[in-house]
Each structure stands twice: as structure tokens, then as C-alpha cells.
Amino acid sequence: MCCVSGMGRDKTRQTVDSLLESGSPALLIGTGFCGALDPRLNPGDIVLATEVVQAGEERKVISCAFPEMEELSRRIEQDVRVFSGKLVSTNRVAALPKEKRDLNTRHNAVAVDMESAALAETCADRDIPWIVIRVVSDTCADSLPPSVQLIGEGSVLSGAIQLVLDAAFSSKARQSLIRLRRNTQTASQSLAKALHATLEFLKDRTDY
């Protein structure tokens, strides 16, 4: 079964809760884009979360208990570059390089998203194993345009209007949007390869 949660902690928790009402899966996989916090990461690189934490809740680090993480990483790495490490989730888009540097320093995390901590928290509450597989869409040096920030905060209409304004009147924002589009295309291709490798890896394992 595949579910789309949308962006953010609340939507993710609601989606996972709804999914788990129909039963307890043997394994739950969370996936999507992330921003790099580690300068080694490039668009299209895969991040396997060894642990996740919600920004502002540093004492609630949740470790991934999937027993075959190293084997899975090696299998995915046959197709795309893989980095394993801590992932931090925020309540708003980490759009600026300074924000990303601060998150990296504070949490020693390799990447940032807005959903994985909520998924891990919900699964941990119900004793359900989980894996988070994210793909980098923007580097730690990239700035995201204002329209992306607004959409990430849930202001879809305002974000759409700002997107049109960015594209029409701001050459800097326009170049940022072009770069983000190119990066997300690369990231989508890498994520498809990673998920295919993951499903092949799990296919013959009777526990899943």
C-alpha cells in the first residue's frame, strides 16, 4: 500500500494514523525529498536515516531498528550514492544556507525534512518497524525561493502567486527555481532506483 501524506508533521501523523487503522504492517517505509545539511551531499544522493529527531525536541531521538540497514545500504548503493546518518525534521522549510548550517551544528544531522520524525514517532508508539529513505533535492549551499517556503508552510495559494511573481520579476528567484526543477528531476530518478532496489531487497524476506 502507498499513501501520500503531504508536507509537514501534522499531515504525516494523520496519514500514518489513518493507514494503521487498517492493521499493523510488518514494516513502514517513509520517503520523499530532503535538503542536505552535510556538504558532501549532492542532488540525487540517497539518505538512509539511522535516527531521526524533531527540531526543538532534541531529547527525543528515535533510532531506526531495522536489522538489515547495512545490507540494504549496500544494495541501494549498487545504483545510486547512499549516505547514512541522522535526519532532523523541522516545522518549516529550511530554505537558507545559514539555517542549514545551524541545523547541522545543533543536531549533527546529514539532512533535513519536515515529515520523518512524525512517521518515526507514530511507528515507535505502536512498535512498528520503519525505514526512512530520502533523496537530496537541494544542497546545503542552495537557497530556496520564497514561493517554496510559503508552500512548505501550508500557504499553497500564496505560494502559487509568489511562484508566478518569482518567475516573472526576479531573475535570482527564477534561476533558483530552474536549479530546483533540475535538481528534483535528478532526485526523482535516484529515488525511483533506490525504492526499486529496496523492494527487491525485501521481496524474498518472509518477515516483510
Confidence band for 109, pLDDT divided at 50, 70 and 90? very high
Domain-embedded: residue 4: no
Domain-embedded: residue 187: yes
Domain-embedded: residue 208: no
Domain-embedded: residue 1: no
Question: In the prediction, which pLDDT does 1 show?
Answer: 47
DSSP state, residue 69: H
Question: What residue numbers bound the domain in which 17 lies?
Answer: 9-203
Domain-embedded: residue 2: no
How many percent of the chain have pLDDT more than 70?
83
Domain-embedded: residue 14: yes
Q: Which three cell numbers stand for residue 170?
A: 526576479
Cell 544531522 sits on residue: 109
Q: What is the domain count for the chain?
A: 1
Distance CA 49, CA 130 (A): 10
Question: In the prediction, which pLDDT does 204 show?
Answer: 75
Reference 118, options 53, 207, 178, 49; nearest CA is: 53
The CATH number of the domain holding residue 29 is 3.40.50.1580
Section 87-101 average pLDDT: 91
Domain-embedded: residue 115: yes
Domain-embedded: residue 198: yes
Confidence band for 65, pLDDT divided at 50, 70 and 90? confident
Distance CA 174, CA 168 (A): 8
Query: H-helix or E-strand containing 33?
Result: strand 28-36
Question: For residue 192, how many other CB atoms are within 10 A of its CB?
Answer: 13
